[in-house]
Structure 1
Amino acid sequence: MPLAVLLAGLTGSGKTTVAQALASHGFTRLSVDEEVHRLHGRYGVDYPEHTYFERERPVVAAIRQRFIKEIEAGNDVVLDHGLWRRADRDAWRQTARDAGGHPLVVYLPADRDELLRRLVERNRREDANALTVTPEALDDFFARFDVPAESEKVVVYNGDLGALVAAITAARDGD
């Protein structure tokens, strides 16, 4: 049964780094931010920030279809997307199950100070994974993020990629 790794974390928590690492272990990586960037350019530079969600919506729908096709083809997938709301995580879990996959949510916790430190560096870049985030926007993100509850049975990423890969392998093997 193919694995569907669903990353849950705020902007700057390390989702892309984890997704890239899993891609090097054979997972198909699907990135919403990179697809929005490819189609529309840089957030807040090539289009107004307030139009992001209307641009993101059809991209998420297209990524969902690719996610389904990859799982149906027997491929392990990692979704490089924040999944801030529990309802979104639940919907993607169900999509994975319906396609014949085994969903596994990986939560990337990070405190505000650490995220601000990372975002200062990231805000200087101009690539698809470098949306400019102000401290005020980060506070808004925290307010809108549903921290995974115990009942969600998530794998918590602590910064150790080796341990994460081992946990994912154990999930695949049914441990």
Structure 2
Amino acid sequence: MPEARIHALHGFIGSGKTTFARRLEREVPGLRLTSDEWMVALYGQDPPAELFPVYHARVMAVMEAQWTRALELGVPVILDHGFWTRESRDALRAKAAALGVPLTLYALTLPEEEARRRVRERNEQVGTLYIADATFELFRARFEPLGAEEEAVPIPSPRFSLEMGDAGSPPM
């Protein structure tokens, strides 16, 4: 059985986080928690913009209760969220240290135009969180790339490999 460990994904909308998280879920194996899926299940594909922050905070709180309990039970977790800010990444590092579990941060990057294309394509699918072009822009301004001193495993864009097999194996 794999050890309790946090596998966290850093990347902007459309960078391939969920695709990679699903791969990790199978390979680790571990409990995958994807915030967008929870948002859609609880609040629909296009929750009202004015309620989105409240809904999102609720989802994140419930997910954190689940993933911390899973770690206490010895289950690896895959956090498919994005960790867009340095503050959120530092908080995750502190949480991992407090829980006494290793943390692996994966960095997924993609050219902006390709990310936009993917998001528009994804918006056409049933069961996905709708991201309007204006929302993409709003969120882009909130995204903070990793600092030079932040350790992360770089994951090549799946646009170059449909199977993601070229991304290498994650540390277990």
TM-score (norm 1): 0.85
**C-alpha displacement of 1:131:** 2.0
Which amino acid in the other structure matches residue 136 of structure 2? L
Q: Name structure 2 gaps, 5 residues minimum.
A: none
Structure 1: gaps (5+ residues): none
Query: Does the 8 Å contact 2:8/2:106 carry over to 1?
Result: yes
Alpha-carbon shift at residue 93 of structure 1 (Å): 1.9
User: Counterparts of 2:41 and 2:13 in 1: how far apart (Å)?
Assistant: 19
The one-letter amino acid paired with 1:85 is: T
Residues 1:141 and 2:139 aligned together: yes
Q: Which moved more, 1:1-10 or 1:18-27?
A: 1-10
Between the aligned partners of 1:148 and 1:158, the Cα distance in structure 2 is 16
Asked if residue 30 in structure 1 is aligned to residue 29 in structure 2, the reply is: no
Structure with greater proportional helix content = 1
- SS for the counterpart of 1:24 is helix
Alpha-carbon distance in 1 for matches of 2:8, 2:93: 8
Q: Which residue of 1 aligns with 2:43?
A: 40
Alignment partner for residue 157 of structure 1, among 144, 155, 158? Answer: 155
| Equivalent residues in 2 for 1:126-137, closer than 5 Å | 126-127=126-127, 129-134=128-133, 136-137=134-135
Compute the TM-score of the two structures, normalised by the length of structure 2: 0.87
Instruction: Return the alpha-carbon distance in structure 1 between the equivalents of residues 118 and 73 of structure 2.
Output: 36
CA–CA distance in structure 2, aligned partners of residues 137 and 30 of structure 1: 23
Q: CA deviation at 1:112?
A: 1.1
Whether contact under 8 Å (1:29, 1:77) holds in the other structure is: yes
The residue aligned with 1:55 is 55
- Percent identity between matched residues is 29
